[in-house]
Structure 1
Amino acid sequence: MTHKGVAAALAAAMLFGISTPLAKALLGTLDPWLLAGSLYLGSGLGLAALRLLTPGSGVRLARSDLPWLAGAIVSGGIVAPVLLMIGLAGSSAGTASLLLNAEAVFTALLAWIVFRENADRRIVAGMGAIVAGAVALSWPGPQAPLEASGPALAILAACLCWGIDNNLTRKVSLADPLTIAAIKGLAAGSINVLLALVAGATVPGVGSLALAAGLGFVGYGLSLAAFVVALRELGTARTGAYFSTAPFIGALVAVLWFSEPLTLRLIAAGLLMGLGVWLHLTERHDHRHRHEAIEHDHRHTHDEHHRHHDGAEPDEPHAHPHRHRPLLHSHPHYPDAHHRHDH
């Protein structure tokens, strides 16, 4: 928990998990699609305002980052929500909740297979335990069997799109997380609100929209900014695993805040997820590895990977373009921005 990437990932899961039962309470006054768009748009507007109030504290997106960010927005902010709406229209709530757990699986598989992120047996086992906990939490039971149909496939396709989104976002995670999250929120929110209105959603009162926007700022915006920090520090698969605890956090809030019953399913999910998080927290990945020469820009302190200043060192942390010389050494590490080497 002392690692800032772990803390950021769990904070992202906590904020998003808490927002889920609160968003459910707004469904009585807002159309589901319009609510989703309002949450995204509120996150984008809130983070944009926060960035304007704190100018100069983040690393700007490079031109080379824009294709990755555009791909993430299209995949996760535009295509995935539409697929989810198609799937939800023909699926039970239990089936949809179960299928949405596939996002973490797709995220990890893409990270390991396509983007060559390392994973040992302990990490895979931890991921499996967390996903098993999410499945236990959302399993619809024998009275609501899983539909092997078009709507179910649409939800799985949405999860695949979010998995692609997560992996593409990691490509730009060295840039300012507030800026990244604000752009994604503004783009996804605007498009989804427009689509909801075109589909015939009724515009509610200003109060309901303000509540949705405020909830989106905290539960989606700040959560996404923390998620980007975690991507930078932990890699995609590990961040996705920690974030998968969000359903359990949401269910726990529902028990404590809305007096929903404490069930054996919730207890079992908590134990499985706790085991998975423990396996990840106690990971120790340590081997001799080589850093190739690289030049990039991000906020950093002068640790063993950043010995690039001659003479007096400036205030820390700070950001500027800097060059890493080739380096061969050994120490415990995550697949962060400086440890994306082959194994």
Structure 2
Amino acid sequence: MTSCPTLIANVRSAAGQSVWLDIYTEDNTPVLVNLDTGSNGLVLPYHATHDKNGNLYPWITKTTEQITRIYHPSGFTVAGTICTVSGLYFKEPNGNAVALNEIRALVCEEQHSGAMLGIGLGLVPTSTAQLLDNPFLNVTGQNPSFNLTLSNTDPNQVTVTLGQSASDLSDYKFLSLNPNAAAASGFDMPTINVTTTPPSTDKHGTTITNICNMLMDCGIPGMYLTDSAVPSVGAGNSLAKELHGYKITLAAANGSFSYHFTVGETGPGTPSYILQGGANSTGFVNTGINFLQVYSYYFDATTQQLGFQPVPPS
């Protein structure tokens, strides 16, 4: 096993706190992709995959599978063909190339198309035939794992470490995942406890804990929450008024992570907004990128675990 490669991704405030980095094609063309923990698989744009005559480059091979994918909450839509793509690589800050194995990616068929690098867990595709590969788990000669850490010196940078083994991360606590062949990543979303605690001024409120599926979508600065303890305001609508002053606690049942914030206040882990909605009508929380303000986030496909390490106070 070689040393673990490290990449630097950039947080763009102007793009809604989303995270971006370059992936390079076989002809050494950089493609700026949106690093997205809310989706799964690589989406390559038309201009990076077709020559001036509209033909696919020779390092791309078509399959017969088609995808139309809609990203939420933006509504951004991409469509194209699943292809096997060889010769892709990342670059470390020192310029070293980080080669990838051949992977399945969505190649867009429209000239005005975006580029996504989805590394999310537990998302369900329209069919199992449409599974795409996660580039971070297909680094040549490396353990299939990735680690995301928000820089404590530059809030606009995320360090991505590839290939680490869980056994080397003694200061991390781990949460096991359930394999699910029908999910886009091959795993179910992790389930966590979400506790809503009313402010002391609310004499009639009750502290309630529910089990929710968790998604950490680093593409949004806010939170989505569906929970029986939360008043119904309609999908996509703000819960800021209904939950003002409430303490929201997110915690893994096995103690691998726990943090809280108070709605209406500021601080690490506090989302910019809270909207109702999500992938599960009975219990779902999308933490947004704010999770990275309080915990580094590690995934190991070999051990089928998530790992968490508290971010030191700045």
Indicate the TM-score class for this superposition, using the shorter chain for normalisation. under 0.3
Q: Which has the higher contact order (CA 8 A, sep 6+)?
A: 1
Greater strand share, 1 or 2?
A: 2
TM-score norm. by structure 1 comes to 0.23
Greater helix share, 1 or 2?
A: 1
